[in-house]
């Protein structure tokens, strides 16, 4: 079978721009898709994202993409000029194309609440298509990701429908998180060049004076996917669909759930360049050293017998930390344990963790912010990883923690349900701990159960090894995407 020409478009790609799992997924999938046989399927891949100010500032070696400078993207009342810069995706031959438009992306943050936020990502969508035109490169599939790319399928069907180059181009939209939909006042449609396309937009939204980029993508992409099988079922229900379940049910047969892969090149405790000590399932001594090093770094006393609970997360309502309020203090009061938190987000959660730290300064340490290296250290040096999400499309951290020998405590939802199996000390099967009800009691009961199992260190080692042997690599997960691309093309 011939290699496919694939365009992957997203608002984040690691290591260039990352706020969450989306960035890791684009990098891991892109890298694997482009890897030459026999290591990978050897597709022709181009990855697109904005050339944000923080990429420009970070001294990434980029150069102009020949033939793709001075693009003029025409909207009814203005023309946006941009150029494409390019750089290889680290550890791969895949090309990353960065849409250079200081007027739109020369701002401190990736995402803004500025009045032109819809335009910023509409330009990303159109720059992708204009670049393909300039290069006369016809993608078989444009793989869109989340709301930022939701308008692309519609632009392809309308603004660019005249161009035979795209006659056979198909679109896939992957929903990484339905909590972010890109909803804007419909008064902006005209400026986005979609004033004439109201018939193609969600009518209920238009009645309410708005439009949603994600819904537009769901309406017009040839196929849809999301990042785990369970989440693919969940988003069809009012409880998880965030107002999109009804629309999604109309496209149920085009919606697929594919669990994210992990790039074990970046996330491997045996070789991780961000760690001072290394280990594997057969020799865990490096993990014990990591625990000591981590506690030292975070300024907490070290005792090998006291379990370390780790958190690395965006601190948002999605992640379920409100369940800590009536559970964690009881354990901090009663048990010799440590809690390490890395994250930032909503003030109430940040304040809560600061309160825990102030109340139990010898047991709790908090780093507020984004810190890639510390994330790796916490995965490696903790004994238990906490992820009590209210909803979780896939979740990468629980898969990282499994590989780093840090059994996760998760709520049975979305990708957490698909990747974590409950530990059973009798059969010695399972890789972590799960609870169902979104209540503090359910979390507390599970932590209690974790602590009881922790006391049996022989059993615990089995549990750790079960997790470390799980394989969520792109080698395993990637072929499902290729199957989906091929089904679109055939
Ligand atoms: P989400 O995409 O919803 O944020 P995931 O578990 O899928 O959650 O992915 C989160 C990714 O972001 C992981 O790679 C995790 O290590 C990283 N991450 C989250 N918060 C931080 C932080 N404060 N510092 C460093 N990395 C973080």
Question: Tens-of-pLDDT digits for all 490 residues of the chain?
Answer: 899 999 999 999 999 999 999 999 999 999 999 999 998 999 999 999 999 999 999 989 999 999 999 999 999 999 999 999 999 999 998 999 999 999 999 999 999 999 999 999 999 999 999 999 999 999 999 999 999 999 999 999 999 999 999 999 999 999 999 999 999 999 999 999 999 999 999 999 999 999 999 999 999 999 999 999 999 999 999 999 999 999 999 999 999 999 999 999 999 999 999 999 999 999 999 999 999 999 999 999 999 999 999 999 999 999 999 999 999 999 999 999 999 999 999 999 999 999 999 999 999 999 999 999 999 999 999 999 999 999 999 999 999 999 999 999 999 999 999 999 999 999 999 999 999 999 999 999 999 999 999 999 999 999 999 999 999 999 999 999 999 999 999 8
The contacts of residue 291 (CB under 8 Å, 6+ apart) are 302, 304, 308, 381, 382, 383
Taking the C-alpha atoms of residue 319 and residue 327, their distance in angstroms, rounded to an integer, is 15
Nearest CA, atom 13, ligand 1: 21
**Exposed, middle or buried by CB within 10 Å (0-12, 13-18, 19+), for 15?**
middle
Q: Verify whether ligand 1 is closer than 6 Å to residue 313 (CB atom).
A: yes
Q: Which numeric CATH code is attached to 285-471? A: 3.40.50.2000
Q: What is the CA(314)–ligand 1 centre distance, in A?
A: 6
Q: Where are the alpha helices (DSSP H) in 98-255?
A: 102-105, 117-135, 152-157, 203-207, 213-220, 229-234, 238-241, 245-250
Please give the distance, rounded to the nearest whole angstrom, from the Cα atom of residue 422 to the centre of ligand 1: 23
Query: What pLDDT is stored for residue 462 in this prediction?
Result: 98
Q: What pLDDT does residue 408 have?
A: 98
Give me ligand 1 centre to Cα 25, in Å: 11
Q: Which atom of ligand 1 is nearest to the CA of 372?
A: 25
Nearest CA to 418 out of 229, 225, 177 is that of 229
Determine the Cα angle at 74 with ends 68 and 80, to 5°: 65
312 lines ligand 1 (CB under 6 A): yes
d(CA 465, CA 470): 9
CA 383: distance to chain centroid?
24
User: Is there an atom of ligand 1 within 6 Å of 410 CB?
Assistant: no
Q: 98 C-alpha vs ligand 1 centroid, how far in Å?
A: 22
Does 395 sit in the ligand 1 pocket, CB within 6 Å? yes
Ligand 1: does its nearest atom lie under 6 Å from the Cβ of 375? yes
What was the pLDDT predicted at 59?
A: 84
Q: What does the domain layout of the chain look like in residue ranges?
A: 5-263+475-488, 285-471
CATH code for the structural domain at 5-263+475-488: 3.40.50.2000
Query: Same topology for domains 5-263+475-488 and 285-471, yes or no?
Result: yes
pLDDT at 490: 84
Q: How far is CA 192 from CA 103, 117, 219, 480, 489, in A?
A: 16, 11, 18, 34, 29
Q: Could you tell me if residue 140 is left (phi over 0), alpha (psi between -120 and 50 degrees) or otherwise beta?
A: alpha
Query: Would you give the DSSP letter of residue 289?
Result: H
- The total number of residues shown for the chain amounts to 490
Distance (angstroms) between ligand 1 centre and the Cα of 266 equals 14
pLDDT digits (tens, 9 = 90+) for 340-399: 999 999 999 999 999 999 999 999 999 999 999 999 999 999 999 999 999 999 999 999
Buried b (16+ CB within 10 A) or exposed e, 146-180: bbbbbbbbbbbeebbeeeebbeebbbbbbbbbbeb
Span from the CA of 21 to the centroid of ligand 1 (angstroms): 6
Question: In whole angstroms, what separates CA 31 from the centre of its chain?
Answer: 16
pLDDT of residue 49: 98
Residue 77 CA to ligand 1 center (angstroms) comes to 39
Within the chain, what is the greatest distance between any pair of CA atoms? 69
pTM here is: 0.95
Burial class (CB in 10 A: 0-12, 13-18, 19+), 72: exposed
Could you report the per-residue pLDDT of 187-216, keeping only the tens digit for each?
Answer: 999 999 999 999 999 999 999 999 999 999
Nearest CA among 356, 361, 365 for reference residue 295: 365
Q: Whose CA is nearest to atom 26 of ligand 1?
A: 372
| Residue 343 beta carbon below 6 angstroms from any ligand 1 atom | yes
Q: What whole-number distance in Å separates Cα of residue 106 and Cα of residue 108? A: 7
> How many of the other CB atoms lie within 10 Å of CB of 411?
25
Q: Whose CA is nearest to atom 22 of ligand 1?
A: 370
């Amino acid at each position: 079978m011939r290699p496919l020409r694939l365009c992957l478009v997203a608002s984040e790609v690691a290591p260039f721009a990352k706020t969450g799992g989306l960035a890791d997924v684009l990098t891991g999938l892109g890298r694997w898709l482009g890897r030459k046989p026999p290591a990978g399927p050897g597709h022709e891949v181009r990855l697109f994202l904005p050339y944000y100010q923080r990429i420009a500032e970070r001294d990434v070696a980029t150069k102009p993409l020949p033939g793709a400078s001075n693009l003029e993207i025409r909207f009814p009342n203005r023309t946006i000029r941009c150029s494409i810069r390019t750089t290889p995706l680290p550890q791969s031959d895949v090309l990353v194309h960065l849409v250079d438009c200081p007027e739109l992306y020369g701002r401190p943050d990736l995402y803004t609440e500025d009045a032109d936020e819809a335009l910023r990502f509409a330009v990303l969508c159109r720059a992708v298509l204009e670049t393909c035109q300039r290069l006369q490169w016809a993608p078989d599939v444009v793989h869109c990701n989340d709301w930022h790319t939701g308008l692309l399928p519609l632009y392809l069907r309308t603004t660019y429908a005249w161009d035979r180059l795209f006659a056979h181009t198909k679109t896939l939209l992957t929903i990484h998180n339905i909590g972010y939909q890109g909803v804007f006042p419909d008064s902006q449609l005209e400026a986005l060049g979609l004033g004439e396309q109201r018939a193609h937009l969600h009518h209920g939204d238009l009645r309410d004076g708005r439009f949603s980029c994600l819904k537009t993508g769901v309406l017009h992409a040839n196929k849809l996917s999301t990042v785990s099988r369970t989440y693919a079922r969940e988003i069809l229900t009012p409880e998880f669909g965030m107002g999109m379940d009804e629309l999604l049910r109309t496209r149920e047969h085009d919606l697929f759930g594919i669990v994210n892969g992990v790039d074990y090149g970046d996330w491997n405790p045996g070789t991780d360049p961000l760690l001072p000590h290394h280990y594997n399932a057969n020799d865990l001594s490096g993990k014990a050293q990591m625990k000591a090093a981590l506690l030292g770094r975070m300024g907490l006393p070290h005792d090998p017998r006291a379990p370390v609970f780790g958190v690395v997360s965006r601190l948002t309502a999605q992640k379920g930390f409100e369940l800590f309020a009536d559970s964690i203090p009881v354990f901090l009061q009663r048990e010799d344990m440590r809690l390490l938190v890395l994250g930032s987000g909503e003030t109430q959660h940040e304040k809560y963790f600061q309160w825990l730290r102030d109340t139990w300064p010898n047991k709790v340490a908090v780093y507020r912010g984004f810190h890639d290296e510390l994330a790796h250290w916490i995965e490696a040096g903790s004994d238990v990883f906490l992820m009590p999400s209210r909803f979780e499309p896939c979740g990468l951290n629980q898969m990282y923690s499994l590989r780093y020998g840090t059994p996760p405590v998760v709520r049975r939802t979305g990708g957490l349900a698909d990747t974590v199996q409950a530990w059973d000390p009798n059969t010695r099967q399972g890789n972590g701990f799960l609870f169902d009800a979104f209540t503090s009691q359910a979390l507390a009961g599970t932590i209690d159960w974790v602590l009881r199992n922790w006391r049996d260190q022989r059993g615990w080692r089995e549990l750790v090894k079960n997790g470390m042997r799980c394989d969520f690599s792109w080698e395993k997960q990637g072929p499902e995407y290729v199957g989906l691309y091929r089904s679109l093309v055939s």
